Amino acid sequence: MDLMSTRNRLLSHMEELGPQQAGLSITLSLRILQQHTLREKASVAAVTIRIHYSKIVTMLKADNPDMGDGHAATEAKILRRFRDLVTYCLAPRIGSELVQCVLDSMDVEITLFKGAINWTQSRIILQRKPGINTLCEVFPLEQVTLWALQIALMIAIRSSTPEHLLIHWCPLTRFETTTSGLSSLHDISEEACTIVRVTARATVDSSNTDRTPFFPVIQSMAKGSPMGIVTGLDILNDPLATTLFKSLTNRPQGSLMHEQTSGGTAVALARIPKKNRCQKDTKRQMIPPQEGRISVRTPDQEVGLIHSRVAERLDTHGQSPLHPIPRSANALRNIQYALNPALRPFLGQWARELHALTSRQVAK
């Protein structure tokens, strides 16, 4: 916006403009602030998720019809799915009483647009709320934050490798933790949720309403930017995504100190914006802080969530190569332009099917 030029045009045409009144270009940008809800501000940690599913209300009406279909009932149904996920990932690590403490502290809020759930405006907010036995009294703040970051990774991940497909979870389109893995990246619905932000208390003191922002995903509004998701390349190049994926899939090796350090490193890395921590010079200078280790207050408490089925797959088959492309698929792609144009769409489909079939055989 050229403010001085606008001012000069308003001056009398008879007035001679001096050099001090020459046009001065000032660029102004407006940004809509992402406001936190009151329940989110009061929570220990929170994951804000962007809703993409246009039929959320219709879908949830058919899910547990005995619970009703109102706003509160919809939140309760989503909360049940999150609790199933946390139970699956946390029950192998800690005792049942501590698991129940975590489940009791969980809450879900769906923001409303003009009094109704609108899939283009509303968001799901997963919260760790304080209670009588507050979560921070049982688990350190950094540990609760790590759980929030791990859940964010499972929701945001988009990759074609089998273990990444298997670990993907969405509260609307992919919430069964015990079903078989997806066959290809195309099976992940475009309406799957994405991540908006992760926040946590700045201090353990509940009277302090300041929030610490974390950056598990990029939030660029540039066209074509993978906003709100984690790709397979991120698992390789983003130190935070790498650390979170390993924390979800590595079985405990009896070294609790190593796991505590790894969890503390993930929380520290998440404070750095993604575009900064992925730079080569920045990654080279990153040294895990010694004070970042997560303290565990009882011998029964472990650090991170674990996805048992993905861990079992990695134990059996190892890490899959990223985007494997068989030579036969490349050959079909190279010759398709030399053949009848009417056959090109079919050749493209056959190449994709052959690629998917070969990938499954390599994975086995």
Domain boundary assignment for the chain? 1-30, 38-317, 327-363
Which of 248, 279, 281 is CA-nearest to residue 263?
Answer: 248
Identity of the residue numbered 159: S
At 7 the pLDDT is 53
CA 118 – CA 135 distance, rounded (Å): 32
**Residues 187-200: what's their mean pLDDT?**
87
Which of 316, 266, 313 is CA-nearest to residue 165?
Answer: 313
C-alpha 233: how far from chain center = 15
CA 261 – CA 295 distance, rounded (Å): 9
Check whether 326 has a pLDDT greater than 70: no
At 37 the pLDDT is 84
Q: Compute, in degrees rounded to 10, the torsion defined by CA atoms 324, 329, 334, 340.
A: -150
141-180 pLDDT, tens digit each: 888 999 999 999 999 999 888 888 889 999 988 888 766 5
CA 200 – CA 204 distance, rounded (Å): 10
At 230 the pLDDT is 92
pTM of the model as a whole: 0.74
**Pure H helices in the chain:** 3-10, 38-42, 56-62, 71-90, 96-105, 135-138, 141-156, 162-167, 232-237, 239-249, 256-270, 274-277, 280-285, 308-317, 327-335, 344-363
> Crossing angle for the helix pair 308-317 and 239-249, nearest 10 degrees?
90
At 349 the pLDDT is 63
Owner of token pair 């099976």 = 187
Check whether 224 has a pLDDT greater than 70: no
> Crossing angle for the helix pair 239-249 and 141-156, nearest 10 degrees?
100
Identify the weakest region by mean pLDDT among 195-199, 210-214, 255-259, 268-272. 255-259
pLDDT level of residue 332 (50, 70, 90 thresholds): very low
CB 141 within 8 A of CB 201: yes
282-304 pLDDT, tens digit each: 555 555 544 455 655 554 555 78
55-90 pLDDT, tens digit each: 887 777 766 666 666 788 888 989 999 999 999 999
Which of 347, 328, 352, 320 is CA-nearest to residue 336?
Answer: 347
Angstrom distances, CA of residue 8 to CA of 17, 22, 25, 28, 93: 8, 8, 13, 19, 70
